[in-house]
Amino acid sequence: MKYTEFTEKSSFELENLLAFSYGRMIEDPPEGFDARLPAPPFLMVDRILSIEKNGNRGKIVAEQDIRIDAWYFQCHFPGDPVQPGCLCVDAIWQLIGFYCVWRGALGAGRALGCDQVSFNGQVRPHNKVVRYEIEIVRFQGMKNSGTSMVIGNGEVFVDGESIASVQRARAGVFKDITYRDYPFLSENAIGGSGDKA
């Protein structure tokens, strides 16, 4: 699809999200467009049912189908399989990072943290669907630096029951941070704070 179509689209199917993960969804990406979602098995979303903006606010509703043979059920924990709660938090980061790019941010996305995470339930192998509902409380693009940031509050449901909440989850999109020549040693091959003193 064309870039303008991407920024106007209000829902995305799995095929779209997979193409985005591999950098193939947008035929005419603008210069500096380096964004990706994680590829399976770490992609924690199967579809975005709705994505909308309202000024510097917005909303995302997305789902993940639960598979009895998911990789995390095989190791977390043997004899007592449960989806790690941190994967629900990562799904929120994946979605708000995607939102940032959908709003026009250029660069590559990174999770920046969250203020509070609460769990009151769990995802087991025989559950069917996890649903993510995220209120975007702030989106800001900083034109001079090319950096953009988004803050959202998310609630996680499994088969209609609320099991987790994430308050003030933050993600940003930054220019010139990708490591495209992996595994070779180059400027972006080493992690850390990003400060180059």
| CATH code, domain with 116 | 3.10.129.10
Residue 25 lies in a domain: yes
pLDDT by residue (tens digit) across 78-126? 999 999 999 999 999 999 999 999 999 999 999 999 999 999 999 999 9
Residue whose C-alpha is closest to residue 123's, from 63, 169, 47: 63
Q: Does 116 fall in a domain?
A: yes
Question: Do residues 65 and 13 lie in contact, with contact meaning Cβ atoms separated by under 8 Å?
Answer: no
In a domain, 47, yes or no: yes
Residue 48 lies in a domain: yes
Count of Cβ atoms closer than 10 Å to residue 65 Cβ: 13
* Residue 80 domain-assigned (yes or no): yes
Tally of structural domains, the chain: 1
Residue 54 located in a structural domain? yes
According to the model, what pLDDT value does residue 141 have?
Answer: 87
Domain that holds residue 112: 3-174
Does some domain include residue 191?
Answer: no
pLDDT > 50? residue 196:
no
Query: pLDDT exceeding 90 applies to what percent of the chain?
Result: 87
Query: Which tens digit of pLDDT belongs to each residue from 121-170?
Result: 999 999 999 999 999 999 998 777 768 999 999 999 999 999 999 999 99
The predicted structure's pLDDT at residue 47? 98
Given pLDDT bands bounded at 50, 70 and 90, which one contains residue 197?
A: very low
Q: Is residue 74 part of a domain?
A: yes
User: If you average pLDDT over residues 39-60, what whole number do you get?
Assistant: 97
Which residues are catalytic, by number? Answer: 76
pTM assigned to the model: 0.94
Which pLDDT band holds residue 194 (cuts at 50, 70, 90)?
Answer: low
CA dihedral 12, 18, 21, 23 (to 10 degrees): -90
pLDDT of residue 64: 98
